[in-house]
Structure 1
Amino acid sequence: MSLQGPGTRLGLSSVAVAAGVAAAAGAAQLGVGYGLGVFSWVPTVHGGDEAAWLASLAWTVWISALSVVLGAVVADRVGQPTVQSSTAVRALRRAALSIAAALGGLVVVALTAVPARVAERADTFAPHLIVGGYAIAGVLLGLFISVAALVARSIAANVLATGGWLWLLAVTAAADGIAAGRDPVVAQLGSWPVTTDGPWFRSVYLPGAAIAAVAAVVIGFLAALPAARRRDGQAGVALSGAAGPALVAAAYLLAAPRLTGALPEQLSAHLVAPYAVVTGLIGSVLALVLCGPRRPRPVTAPVPPQYTGSDATPAPAVPAQAVPDKTGSGKKASDKNGAAGDTSDKPASDKPASDKPAPGRTAAGRATVTKAASDDTAAQQPADEPDATGATPPTGPSGVSPVADPPGPRQPRKKR
């Protein structure tokens, strides 16, 4: 069976990878924990070892939740689609991977409930049912965190980095106890008793609190730094620092909702866990502020300075073009003396032409002007009016003056 979408395909392979990785991660963590004595279901009567019981419950919640997140993230990275798909297909794919990882994480329920049958509790006759219930709660918590981890890669990086740090701290605490020759004791989740006598401040073990706070800040900053440089979603990057510490705090809260009668080391671990959430959030926000996207500055083109002083260089003068001679006399026109054949674009004057020659003009020029003026005057007179001498202009056979009406085309003669 396969679920197809635009550009991606979700088959049984990715679902099998999610379930298999989650089951393998849960089994591997339980093997390390049982082998090093990090947690165990030792027989207890009348609450003689309450701290070990509560610490083992917290580890059960953490291991089951981390296994689900690890299975979903690995399956998502292995079967990452190479073509962009729609939002609905991506959401359906993430939900399927998270559910498959949760089904694989149920292996932790069996691997913790069966060994817990040897535990002896005064408040219950079936401690294995309690341990199994805590394992199921951790699986459900991991299902919720895995969905967020698939949406924001910074959240997945923070949870996995926090898990690696907690296991490194637990292995270091177990190795330190073995090297010192002390009896193996259950390690607290996210806490390491560096010294045996403090210092303490109001039921808070200061060395353990400092280690938890510094580790949360560093992991939150380093896990959010690549996402901030990739310009991922700002909300996911800012909240990623609280993902891993919040999972630890939830494990402690489920293990001991009420802290009445808790031992000092257990009380210190419970009180430090919420503050680690705040410090981890500070680390991720710091990474977003330092390496996040910044608003681009507006780029303005530089305007060259313009100098308008008195000593500014004037613009080069454009040479005037010579007007060609239209009269065909072969002489260039002059703007000053008006040579013969000068034809300019200026409109003619409304004043009548004078018979007196203009100074500076030649006789040929006067004759040309006088003849043009007389032709215009004759053309404006009606055909039936006499001219200045009193003679009527001759008319043609059609009664139209040959001056006013030019002759038409020549007609052929009629044969007699």
Structure 2
Amino acid sequence: MSLQGPGTRLGLSSVAVAVGVAAAAGAAQLGVGYGLGVFSWVPTVHGGGEAAWLASLAWTVWISALSVVLGAVVADRVGRPTVQSSTAVRVLRRAALSIAAALGGLVVVALTAVPARVAERADTFAPHVIVGGYAIAGVLLGLFVAVAALIARSIAANVLATGGWLWLLAVTAVADGIAAGRETVVAQLGSWPVTTDGPWFRSVYLPGAAIAGVAAVLIGFLAALPAARRRDAQAGVALSGAAGPALVAVAYLLAAPKLTGALPEQLSAYLVAPYAVFAGLLGSVLALVLCGPRRPRPVSVAAAPVPPQYLGSDAAPAPAVPAQTGPDRADADKTDADKTGADKGAPAKDTPARPASAKPAQGRAAVVKATPDKAVAEQPADEPTAPVTGTPAAAVDALAPSPKQPRKKR
């Protein structure tokens, strides 16, 4: 069964990959969290039960959402089509993979709701139902983020990189507490208490805020850098830096809509999360500006300078240029005048008379080209043929037969 034509690898295998990877990712994260004590449903001592409860709910939302995104992205890379497909087919493919990954992410619901039955809550008699509801909310949130991650690769890279960073930070916080000999407490999502006494600034733990802000900028920049070099869609590249931090902020918002009675470190993590979204957005936009496509500069062709011309009513008209007589016409007129004078003073030879209909050539437009062979045939044999020189008009007059005149008796 395949949703596309020949040459593709999208079928039930890709859907199975999405379900399996999402379920495996959720189970692995919960195993690491339960094993290291990153979150727990068992109330802690010294009045930390509320903080542990809220932190565990935030981790539940984050783990379920990240599992769905991871399953959809891996299935998309494994079953990427080998031929070009239409837009409708691509939309159906992304929707199918996202829904399949969401089905696999429902494993987190069971793996969190069952252990949450031991939780002691004064405001509810069924804490496991609340935990299951938060897990389902995380799956739905991950479904929408997975669709965006399949559309823009930079968003997928940012979410996965943010997930790896948060788990590294949580494991580091637990290891630091064990090394310092402190009691194991629930780690806040995206926060690490480097010191125990501050510094603080208006309920904000400055070391934790600095770590969260710098990490958001770096992850946003590095995740968007390859996409900017590939010339991907600029909107997806610019918004990719806010994807991971926004998922963390929504997890905190769902876990505690109202911060009443929260511990100082937990309150600081809640307040820093929205600012981390803007920090990640700054990193992705910076990557797009530095490595994005640049518009070519327009090439301007320098035009030839046009001298100013006065076109007013009092401008003098241009002088008329008299017609010039060419040198060839002047030579022809001179030759005709010499020939006429020679005919008047010298006796003409016996030549046939010129027809009356023939008219003398006037100017260049009235020149009649005579055939040289015919003119030579009409000339007497005993008279030598004179070379024809001059202009075409002179040549016509030289070749034309002259009227025959009688000889005078002695």
Question: What is the CA–CA distance in structure 2 between the aligned matches of 1:8 and 1:279, rounded to whole Å?
Answer: 40
Q: Say whether residues 1:375 and 2:359 are aligned partners.
A: no
What TM-score, normalized by structure 1, do the two folds share?
Answer: 0.75
Among 356, 375, 380, which residue is 2:341 paired with?
A: 356
Q: Is the 8 A contact 1:46 1:122 kept in 2?
A: no
Partner of 1:120: 120
Query: What amino acid maps onto 1:2 in structure 2?
Result: S
Q: Secondary structure at the match of 1:280?
A: helix
Partner of 2:403: none
Change (3 A) 1:371 1:3: same
**Which range moved further: 99-108 or 259-268?**
259-268
Partner of 2:84: 84
Question: What is the CA–CA distance in structure 1 between the aligned matches of 2:99 and 2:150, rounded to whole Å?
Answer: 12
Partner of 1:183: 183
1:148 Cα deviation after fit: 0.3
CA distances 1:246-303 after superposition (whole Å, capped 9, x unpaired): 0000000000000121111111110000000011111111111111111112346799
CA distances 1:10-61 after superposition (whole Å, capped 9, x unpaired): 3101100000000000011011111111001114699751111100000000
Q: Is the 8 A contact 1:45 1:120 kept in 2?
A: no
CA distances 1:355-377 after superposition (whole Å, capped 9, x unpaired): 43289xxx9xx969x947x3233
Q: Is the 8 A contact 2:68 2:142 kept in 1?
A: yes
Question: What is the CA–CA distance in structure 1 between the aligned matches of 2:225 and 2:297, rounded to whole Å?
Answer: 23
Q: Is the 8 A contact 2:102 2:143 kept in 1?
A: yes
Q: Say whether residues 1:142 and 2:142 are aligned partners.
A: yes
**Matched positions, count:** 337
Q: Say whether residues 1:19 and 2:4 are aligned partners.
A: no
Q: Is the 8 A contact 2:220 2:241 kept in 1?
A: yes
What TM-score, normalized by structure 2, do the two folds share?
Answer: 0.76
Query: What amino acid maps onto 2:156 in structure 1?
Result: A
Change (3 A) 1:156 1:247: same
Q: Is the 8 A contact 1:61 1:138 kept in 2?
A: yes
Question: Within 5 Å, which residues of 2 pair with 1:225-374?
Answer: 225-299=225-299, 355-357=340-342, 371=351, 374=353
Change (3 A) 1:207 1:377: same
Question: What is the CA–CA distance in structure 2 between the aligned matches of 1:358 and 1:131, rounded to whole Å?
Answer: 135
Question: What is the CA–CA distance in structure 2 between the aligned matches of 1:81 and 1:157, rounded to whole Å?
Answer: 20
Query: What amino acid maps onto 2:53 in structure 1?
Result: W
Question: What is the CA–CA distance in structure 1 between the aligned matches of 2:343 and 2:23, rounded to whole Å?
Answer: 120
Query: What amino acid maps onto 2:277 in structure 1?
Result: V
Query: What amino acid maps onto 2:354 in structure 1?
Result: D
Q: Is the 8 A contact 1:173 1:192 kept in 2?
A: yes
Partner of 2:203: 203
Q: Say whether residues 1:56 and 2:56 are aligned partners.
A: yes
Partner of 2:398: none
Q: Is the 8 A contact 2:94 2:147 kept in 1?
A: yes
Q: Secondary structure at the match of 2:4?
A: strand
Structure 2: stretches of 5+ with no match in the other structure: 305-327, 360-410
Question: What is the CA–CA distance in structure 2 between the aligned matches of 1:260 and 1:367, rounded to whole Å?
Answer: 140
Change (3 A) 1:301 1:371: farther
Structure 1: stretches of 5+ with no match in the other structure: 305-334, 339-343, 381-416
Query: What amino acid maps onto 2:138 in structure 1?
Result: G
Bigger fraction of residues in helix: 2
Q: Is the 8 A contact 2:44 2:185 kept in 1?
A: no
**Which range moved further: 288-297 or 89-98?**
288-297
Query: What amino acid maps onto 2:157 in structure 1?
Result: A
* Aligned sequence identity (%): 85
Q: Say whether residues 1:30 and 2:30 are aligned partners.
A: yes
Query: What amino acid maps onto 1:250 in structure 2?
Result: V
Question: What is the CA–CA distance in structure 2 between the aligned matches of 1:371 and 1:55, rounded to whole Å?
Answer: 133
